Amino acid sequence: MLKEKIEARIALEDGTVLKGFSFTGGGEAEGEVVFNTSLTGYQEILTDPSYHGQIVVMTYPLIGNYGINSEDSESAAAKVTGFIVKECSRKVSNWRSNKSLGSFLKENSILGIEGIDTRFLVGRIRDKGAMKAVISTSGASDKDLVEKAKKSKGVVGQDLVKDVTTEKSYFWNDSGKYKVIVLDCGVKFNILRMLAKNNCKVFVMPAGSGFEEILKQKPDAVLISNGPGDPAAVPYIVENVKGLLGKVPLFGICLGNQILGLAQGAKTYKLKFGHHGGNHPVKDLRNGRISITVQNHGFCLDADTLGQENVEITHINLNDNTVEGLRHKKIPLFAVQFHPESYPGPHDGQYLFLEFIKMIEEFKT
């Protein structure tokens, strides 16, 4: 942890500028600023590929007190563009910890800022929506930083999946009753762990893999993973998924849910400030069951564009009634917008992996 404080600022595209201090050294980064309401799980949040292109603000005021360990990352490295907290803990206390939050961010070249009025910043995002932003320790004027934020790319219309997908196919584990292909749009490790736990032999393939290439592997099922950015910006994935419809059981998570919806002819739209956190109530319309879920997405399927003849909405968000799940009435396909694998967050949604296995077994027989 740095002993000397380095002044840092965040500049939003609406002209707002807030001052704080860097706890990772000098630097500058741009991205869409969003807030996460989780109390714990910052390591999993930092390493979630779905956050690629985004600056994350934590609503809980003290972050970093249990450090970083070698087991809880959800990808090989930090994926956020920047990280903002009210206070970064200087004291690390956890028997599993092997480094501090500041050290981890610095190793990954991620700019971390503290001392920002995070309550004001989160309120600003809730009122104005997620905005493009720049965080910086440079001597540039506030005006210049705001202009830089306005001119930054943001996430709308950007294919961010290509930056986080695997370059080569690989086996996550080499044994299991069911061979499941995971189309890696930015997959979290715990999705792969949950599949392996449920007797699946998991083969991970790049997001741009063609449907013929996927089917050549003779999978029992295909899972389309979570991932970052605008689902409308990855039409090549949607087209390949169309080629899988009806040929093999399909399960989509987060971005995978949106991709499966687009493959059915639906449309997506951008949420005002997205769903990011571990406390989102979701209702399963099939049985009335309510789960507390972990979520991380800024886009959503438009319910009015889902073909009701073939597609059924299975889950809704009880905060805003947005689409949280779907299934096809005629072919083996279902998806959810939240993260059933959790990590971090409640485990309420993990029953969906059992539903996936059941769908595979029914299709095989």
pLDDT band at 217 (very low <50, low <70, confident <90, very high): very high
Q: Is 185 a catalytic residue?
A: no
| Topology (CATH level 3) of domain 6-151 | Glucose Oxidase; domain 1 (3.50.30)
Q: Is the pLDDT of residue 308 over 80?
A: no
Contact 93, 65 (CB under 8 A): yes
pTM of the model: 0.95
Distance CA 121, CA 320 (A): 22
> Among residues of the chain, what percentage have pLDDT more than 90?
95
**What average pLDDT does range 114-132 have in this prediction?**
97
Q: Is the pLDDT of residue 36 over 70?
A: yes
Task: State the catalytic residue, choosing from 52, 276, 297, 339.
Answer: 339
Check residue 307 and give its pLDDT: 78
**What average pLDDT does range 200-226 have in this prediction?**
98
Q: Is the pLDDT of residue 168 over 60?
A: yes
Please give the mean pLDDT across all residues of the chain: 96
Q: Name the one residue in this structure whose structure tokens are 């994350």.
A: 56
Q: Is the pLDDT of residue 3 over 80?
A: no
Check residue 309 and give its pLDDT: 85
Which residues, including other chains, have CB under 8 Å from residue 76's CB and lie 6 or more apart? Answer: 47
**What average pLDDT does range 230-238 have in this prediction?**
98
Distance CA 300, CA 258 (A): 7
Q: Is 300 a catalytic residue?
A: no
Q: Is the pLDDT of residue 280 over 60?
A: yes
Domain boundaries, the chain: 6-151, 161-364
55-101 pLDDT tens trace? 999 999 999 999 999 999 999 999 999 999 999 999 999 999 999 99
One-letter-per-residue 3-state SS of the chain: CCCCCEEEEEEECCCCEEEEEECCCCCEEEEEEEEECCCCCHHHHHCCHHHCCEEEEECCCEECCCCECCCCCCCCCCCCCEEECCEECCCCCCCCCCECHHHHHHHCCCEEEECCCHHHHHHHHHHHCCEEEEEECCCCCHHHHHHHHHHCCCCCCCCCHHHHCCCCCEECCCCCCEEEEEEECCCCHHHHHHHHHCCEEEEEEECCCCHHHHHCCCCCEEEECCCCCCHHHCHHHHHHHHCCCCCCCEEEECHHHHHHHHHCCCCEEEEEEEEEEEEEEEEECCCCCEEEEEEEEEEEECHHHCCCCCEEEEEEECCCCCEEEEEECCCCEEEECCCCCCCCCCCHHHHHHHHHHHHHHHHHC
Task: State the catalytic residue, choosing from 13, 44, 114, 341.
Answer: 341
Q: Is the pLDDT of residue 2 over 80?
A: no
pLDDT band at 5 (very low <50, low <70, confident <90, very high): confident
Residue 240 burial class via C-beta count within 10 angstroms: exposed 0-12, middle 13-18, buried 19 and up? buried
Task: State the catalytic residue, choosing from 254, 275, 300, 328.
Answer: 254
**What average pLDDT does range 176-185 have in this prediction?**
98
40-60 pLDDT tens trace? 999 999 999 999 999 999 999
**What average pLDDT does range 137-166 have in this prediction?**
97
Check residue 345 and give its pLDDT: 87
CATH code reported for the domain at 161-364: 3.40.50.880
Distance CA 115, CA 58 (A): 12
Note whether 6-151 and 161-364 share their fold: no
Q: Is 254 a catalytic residue?
A: yes
Q: Is the pLDDT of residue 151 over 90?
A: yes
323-348 pLDDT tens trace? 999 999 999 999 999 999 988 989 99
